[in-house]
Amino acid sequence: MEKIKKVIASLTGILLSIPYRLMAQDEGSYIENLGVQDSSYMEEGNPIPAGSAAEQASGSGNTVIIIVVAAVLVIAAVVFFILRKKKK
Amino acid sequence: MNKAFHILSAQNGFAAILVLAAILLGFMAPKAAVNVDEQLHYPHAKKVVNWYFTLGEDRSCLDTPKSNLKYYGQSVDNLTALINRVFSIENEFLLRHYAGAFFFWLLLLFSGMIARKVTGSYQVATITVLTLLLMPRLFGQAFGNLKDIPFATGYTAGVFMIIKFLKEMPRPRWRTAVFLGLAIAFTVSVRAGGFILFGYLALCIFTFLFWKPFYLNSVSTKPVFVRLTGQVTVILFIGYFAGLLFWPFALQNVFSHPLESLNLMEHYSVNIRQIFEGELTWSAQLPWYYVPKWLLISTPEFIMVGLLFSLFFVVREFIDRKYSCENCLYTIFILFVFVFPVVYVIAIGSNLYSGIRQMLFVLPFVGILAAIGIWKFVKWLAGNNKKLFFPSITILIALAFLPVKHQAATFPAGYVYFNSISGGNKKAWSNYEYDYYFHGIKQPADYLINLAGNDDIKVVMNCNLTNYFSTYPNIEVGYSRYLERSSTDWDYAIFGINYIHPHLLKNYKWQTTEVIKTFYHKGNPLAVVLKRVDKNDFYGIEAVEKGNFTEGQELIKSSLQNNLNNVWLYVQLAKANLLAGNASEFKKYLNEGKTIHPFYEPLFMLEAQYYYNEGQYVKSMNILKELVEINPLYPNAQALKNDIENKKLH
């Protein structure tokens, strides 16, 4: 009777451990994708410097455009006046 | 009269060679190849233009987590995208190649003007233009490389304006200051590295005052000091801010983002596999002497000789105590702007790849120095040793002919040039990165388009140059790595001989019976066109993936009979047997695979997995160590190592 109990217990243990064994086998498999990368473009570890995310942008689109236009005008004016003065 | 005639002739010679260069560039631009970076930067440039057109609403140009493109100013790319959009130009790459040609021509002009400024001779200016045209690594990228060539143009223009500014000291003209600011702005607008020109300007002003201390009296007078301070402020303002105007990312934070970009460029995080000294390695692991060695092996002999002459005469002038002469100091400055960036990238351990591509901006100064050296040598010969004059000139012309012949014979892949110090192109193939820009794909693409006619075909390539097929709706284009081509569905394939291990290249094991045409470059295979006989390999691999090991293996084996060098099929057979629990067959295919390619990562991974499954963790770990030695970035190797280490702990 003791022996039968032991066999039943062992069998039950094996049956109950099957899902865990299968899971362990899945977890321990590293050969699904065997391809060899040529560049890190598509890999992890492509660090983006802290604080550079686009969402942290400080100016709205319109503000930036205004700054761009203003700066272009200022620089163009400076260049124009300097060159004009030199011609004189 | 004679002297006046002489000067006039030299000046005309300079003008004539520039006109000839312009005609040559205009003739070559439509026939130039598209490079792989164009397919990266141009789509981004379109997004940048759209950012402006939508007044900042379309923010896609700011979202580049993998490619890092937002960190590039790439103003010339953006300019071509803008022109193509405004004028609805259909052949977008043609305009880009004309733009590249224009900036290369400007590079010739500014380099010549520097040579003239430093030596006072138009003869040297003319020789300088010639030397630049004789640099295949520079000239060969004139059309499609809209970041390195325009950056070199800006850098050269900046150095020219700095010299002009110094020559006008202590009262430089305002016009000079403004144009210097604009030159720096343009350089920064291409790449943040242009900020280095500010450093050069500061260094030059201090050196000037140290060199000519008597000017300190003049500079310290109020009118001169105020004028000079004002000019430096204008240079700083224009140079810094005007360069950011067409760079959306920089405009998000004009003070921190450009510097952040500069920091990123110095330690660029993109890692690319490169062949260097016969080894396949990741760019981040390349040795410190990578750039000097590339300069040594890819600079034409004619330029090397000129450079040596130039160094000789600089040293001699120093020994003769002629270093106080103005021109000598400017020659040393030219030497400095060539050497400093090279020393700097070595000192900070920058991640460099693609030969000297990222350092192309120093090459014009190599050319200028070489031109000065040759000019001085010829003058010295004419004055001191007339017997050797003609033989020496003949040798120089013969050396100059080598890169001319190379470029004429290999266009549009003329940039792939190795000098005789490296043993020439023949020896460099399989030892050094060859056609890294995939210029060699143009001809195979044209060939395949003709071959396909109106048939519907699937094509794969190991690069992103889909542009060649964009007007052919019957041709579907995909991507595949060369060795892994059996895993992809295709009828025809075009592969550049890139990213293939030197072991396979040197032992001809990369070749396959599927090749229907090989395109050569100086006798070296540059690209191949493949035609698939059947798709048993593809269906077999698909079956193995679905768990149909018997059916899959049969198909793969039948394909293998025609393709004995296809190491990827051995990988698949070994994998199928490992998954099916057939150890003896697994080992058989593993060993056969290793016979073909002893350094192939998937074979090591499979072996490590096998020992892991068997519970032989030490053996598995040893295999993984070998694998990491070959390729530290191979996916899953580290994960399996961690797994084993965890198992040991428990």
DSSP B577-593: HHHHT-HHHHHHHHHHH
B270/A46 CB distance under 8 A: yes
- Amino acid in position B199: G
B450 touches chain A (CB under 8 A): no
A77 touches chain B (CB under 8 A): no
Residue B280 pairs with which residues in a beta bridge? B275
Q: Crossing angle for the helix pair B174-190 and B75-86, nearest 10 degrees? A: 80
- Mean pLDDT (chain B, rounded): 93
- Given this model, what pLDDT does residue A20 score? 36
pLDDT tens sequence across B165-184? 999 988 999 999 999 999 99
Least CB-CB distance to B56: which of A28, A48, A62? A62
Across B567-575, average pLDDT: 97
A60 touches chain B (CB under 8 A): yes
Q: Using an 8 Å CB-CB cutoff, list chain B residues near A69.
A: none
Do B536 and B555 contact (CB within 8 A), yes or no? Answer: yes
Residue with tokens 């003065």: A85
pLDDT tens sequence across A26-51? 567 889 889 998 886 543 333 333 33
Position A84 pLDDT exceeds 90? no
Interface of B with A in 90-129 (CB under 8 A): none
Position A60 pLDDT exceeds 50? no
What HEC string does B76-128 produce?
HHHHHHHHHHHCCCCCHHHHHHHHHHHHHHHHHHHHHHHHHHHHCCHHHHHHH
B56 touches chain A (CB under 8 A): yes
B252/A33 CB distance under 8 A: no
To 5 degrees, how large is the angle CA B431–CA B432–CA B434?
120
pLDDT tens sequence across B245-293? 999 999 999 999 998 998 888 777 778 999 999 999 999 999 999 999 9
Do B174 and A85 contact (CB within 8 A), yes or no? Answer: yes
A54/B54 CB distance under 8 A: no
Least CB-CB distance to A30: which of B51, B498, B636? B636
Q: Using an 8 Å CB-CB cutoff, list chain B residues near A47.
A: 269
Q: Which of B612, B594, B620, B635 is closest to B501 using CA atoms?
A: B594
Residue B195 DSSP code: G
Cα B445 to Cα B43, B334, B534, B632, distances in angstroms: 21, 42, 22, 34
Angular region, B586: left φ>0, alpha ψ -120 to 50, beta rest: alpha
CA-nearest residue of chain B to A57?
A: B252
Q: Which of B635, B613, B610 is closest to B623 using CA atoms?
A: B610
A58 touches chain B (CB under 8 A): yes
Q: Which two three-digit tokens encode residue B514?
A: 């599927």
A59/B252 CB distance under 8 A: yes
Give chain B's length.
Answer: 650
| Domain locations along chain A | 1-40, 58-87
pLDDT top residue among B214 and B504: B504
pLDDT tens sequence across B308-338? 999 999 888 877 766 556 777 888 899 999 9
DSSP string, A19-88: HHHHHHHHHT---S-----SBGGGSS-----TT--GGG--S-HHHHHHHHHHHHHHHHHHHHHHHHHHH-
Distance CA B612, CA B337 (A): 55
B236 touches chain A (CB under 8 A): no
How do B475-479 and B457-461 pair as beta strands?
A: parallel
B359's CB contacts (< 8 A; 6+ apart) are: B291, B295, B341, B342, B345, B352
Q: Using an 8 Å CB-CB cutoff, list chain B residues near A86.
A: 173-175
Q: Using an 8 Å CB-CB cutoff, list chain B residues near A49.
A: 260, 263-264
A22 touches chain B (CB under 8 A): no
Do B609 and A31 contact (CB within 8 A), yes or no? Answer: yes
Q: How far is B89 from chain A (nearest CA, A)?
A: 26
Distance CA B264, CA B349 (A): 13
Across B631-641, average pLDDT: 90
B504 touches chain A (CB under 8 A): no
Where do the domains of chain B lie, and which CATH numbers do they carry?
2-410 (no CATH), 439-531 (no CATH), 545-649 (1.25.40.10)
Do A38 and B271 contact (CB within 8 A), yes or no? Answer: no
Q: How far is A5 from chain B (nearest CA, A)?
A: 30
Across B87-106, average pLDDT: 96
- Amino acid in position B597: H
Q: Which two three-digit tokens encode residue B389?
A: 């004059």
Query: Helices (H) and strands (E) in chain B — how many of each?
Result: 28, 7
- Given this model, what pLDDT does residue A58 score? 37
Residue B268 DSSP code: -
Across B382-392, average pLDDT: 87
Least CB-CB distance to A37: which of B173, B633, B639? B633
The answer, yes or no, to whether ipTM is higher than 0.95 is no
B264/A86 CB distance under 8 A: no
